[in-house]
Structure 1
Amino acid sequence: MKLPQTLKSGPCTWVKDSVFSLEVAEQMNISVVIPCYNAAPFIGDCLKSVAEQTKQPHEIIVIDDGSTDASCQIINQAPIQVRLLHTERRGGAGARNAGIKVATGDWIAFLDADDLWFPDHLERASRVIRRTGAVAYINHYNHIKAGDIHIRNGKMESEVTGTGIDDYIALFRRYGHFVGMSACSVQTRHAREVGGLLENQLRRHDIEFWLRIIHNRPWVFDPVATSAYRKHSQGNLSSDRANAAIYGFTAFLRHRAKAQDMVSYDTVLKERARSAITRSFEAKDQVALRQSYSMAFDYLGPMHKILFQILHQAPCLFPVVRLLRLV
């Protein structure tokens, strides 16, 4: 067997794209799990992207989470076989857990009802998983804005494999957040072993779930984008960002004890703590500010502790501090 050419960078292994001579692996059975809530404008295109996969899934499970629009009607009229489940507003994490519970495939590929896959998504995921022996797969993704797919230029050009949380943190420090549920595939038994997604982690449960899945297990990041994430413009964007930042900090805080490279992990926690409080100031959201100060302040670096102590007493200074890029 021809082995991949690798480069070492910290604890991660960077695998260059090249031609591999591989033994034929056992056929992968992939269950597609799609949570759906009031996604009538999008669910048809979502299912169409699954139907057009060059590698057909073992099954397609759609979990309608109490939709009040025409989502279920569109799903039932889809020209592909879909297993439709019903839950009552458990949220994205709860709906995915319902899918994890009943999935019969060896692997689960997640897809949101308003997102899309390119035709080779499942084929490429299965090929990379076989080659690397990973139990969790994530790939680069593009954005859908106003109905058009916008190509995001990824900073990573090569496939990256790692084992455990420390390897992920090393990558996160270089490139930031890169986990999206529509780009994520995991072994079904591991998803069940870790208890599925945390349903009280209302935002950023993708990161929290990923950190539990990869703890002491091999994972792989594929820089080739075969999925597209829809960015919505409605809603209070500042408050959304504040809540997402707070839950993002919480996701990392939950798993701090699992890290061995505590210096690197705490560096990320400091960055997430700063982001949570900064986003709350931007949103002018008093509830978010109280929550972020209560949870994240102790994890700030010394300089940011002083700055945010001042801002706590004189919030009118925030625009100046932000303009100077001090936070």
Structure 2
Amino acid sequence: MPRISVVIPAYNGVSRYLEQAIRSVLAQTVKDFELIVVDDASTDDTARLVLRFPSARYYKRPTNGGQAVARNDGARLAKGEFLAFLDQDDLWEPTFLEETSAVLNAHPETALVHCDGYQVNERNEILEYDAAMKHANSITQMLRGGHDMATSGSLFRKSCFDAVDGYDESLPVWEDIDLAIRLYQRFRIVHLPKPLYRHRLYGRNASRDIPSERALLGRRYFLEKHGPACRPGTPEARALARDWAQYYSDLGKALLQAGQTKEARRALWQAVRHDPTNHTVFLRLLRSFFQG
């Protein structure tokens, strides 16, 4: 039985660097692992690409379920004591599994070890160092103790992953943050301050500042799910108010772009109500009255 199970969720991976991700797994200095590629109902030749690697187990979902669903499917297939997920457009440094598994081996009470990484461009050129401890005044950080665990930069103890029921499949966004919060509430998490993975960034146009309806729905679900943990009068409650203000501000921005001016104003009023000190939102609200 392998010690480590590696899961790569894939969707149309032929043009999205899947082969590079697989090769970065096979190049690991530790060889006691299994590789599972979960094809999330791709419409390209992802199957043919994966089957070129005899050591990879290939599983194809009948319908597209999204990242959280594909990762959970891979976890159910996994046989290892430890569990790692690598996104198809990310890469591991050769010692990722060796160094992270050494931490879990040395600390049996630890549920998760996560490391720093690099942000790289589409040509795998380093853009910046990404430190994995962040202490922003947001519940997305505060409720997980600052552990900004990247999916591709983490190694789980599978029994702990299973104990919290894995990823929340209802979340289309922030499912990794939600998982980190639930693990942090019950187990020990360790940060390894070494850059052992690479996260690929893509060039995007200016419309990236307008969140999608799917992203907004996911954020609302996340805030409603974790809001009750933020007791009134605490720093977490103040952070929650700011996060709700940001949500309503982004909702208002999206509604303004869609020409739904009255609905946008209602959302922006909610943002001001949650955080009256946010002058940017107040100005956006005022500008909305000149947009029809």
- Classify the TM-score, shorter chain: 0.7 to 0.9
Of 61, 73, 78, 1:103 maps to 78
**Shift in Å, 1:263:** 1.6
2:193 is the counterpart of 1:223: yes
Unaligned runs of 5+ in 2: none
**Shift in Å, 1:103:** 0.9
**Shift in Å, 1:170:** 7.4
Letter in 2 for 1:70: D
2:55 is the counterpart of 1:84: no
Compare 235-244 and 223-232 and name the one that shifted more.
235-244
- The match for 2:50 is 75
- The match for 1:210 is 180
What is the alpha-carbon distance in structure 1 between the residues aligned to residue 31 and residue 230 of structure 2? Answer: 37
**Shift in Å, 1:281:** 4.9
What is the alpha-carbon distance in structure 2 between the residues aligned to residue 168 and residue 130 of structure 1? Answer: 28
- The match for 1:303 is 277
- The match for 2:129 is 153
2:244 is the counterpart of 1:273: yes
Contact preservation (8 Å) 2:174, 2:222: yes
- The match for 2:154 is 184
- The match for 2:120 is 144
Contact preservation (8 Å) 1:28, 1:126: no
Q: 1:309 to 1:237 in 2, by over 3 A?
A: closer
Q: 1:261 to 1:207 in 2, by over 3 A?
A: farther
- The match for 1:32 is 6
Unaligned runs of 5+ in 1: 1-26, 319-327
What is the alpha-carbon distance in structure 1 between the residues aligned to residue 194 and residue 252 of structure 2? Answer: 36
**Shift in Å, 1:205:** 0.9
What is the alpha-carbon distance in structure 2 between the residues aligned to residue 139 and residue 103 of structure 1? Answer: 22
Letter in 1 for 2:167: L
Q: SS where residue 201 of structure 1 aligns?
A: coil
- The match for 1:112 is 87
Letter in 2 for 1:239: I
Count of residue correspondences = 279
- The match for 1:5 is none
2:124 is the counterpart of 1:124: no
- The match for 1:134 is 110
Alignment of 1:223-242 (within 5 A): 223-234=193-204, 236-240=207-211
What is the alpha-carbon distance in structure 2 between the residues aligned to residue 65 and residue 220 of structure 1? Answer: 31
Q: SS where residue 200 of structure 1 aligns?
A: coil
- The match for 1:315 is 288
What is the alpha-carbon distance in structure 1 between the residues aligned to residue 93 and residue 232 of structure 2? Answer: 37
- Normalised to the residue count of structure 1, the TM-score between the two structures is 0.72
RMSD: 3.7
Q: Percent identity?
A: 21
What is the alpha-carbon distance in structure 2 between the residues aligned to residue 58 and residue 234 of structure 1? Answer: 35
What is the alpha-carbon distance in structure 2 between the residues aligned to residue 179 and residue 144 of structure 1? Answer: 17
What is the alpha-carbon distance in structure 1 between the residues aligned to residue 246 and residue 282 of structure 2? Answer: 15
Contact preservation (8 Å) 2:112, 2:189: yes
**Shift in Å, 1:58:** 2.2
- The match for 2:218 is 247
- The match for 2:26 is 51
Contact preservation (8 Å) 2:14, 2:45: yes
- Normalised to the residue count of structure 2, the TM-score between the two structures is 0.79
Letter in 1 for 2:55: Q
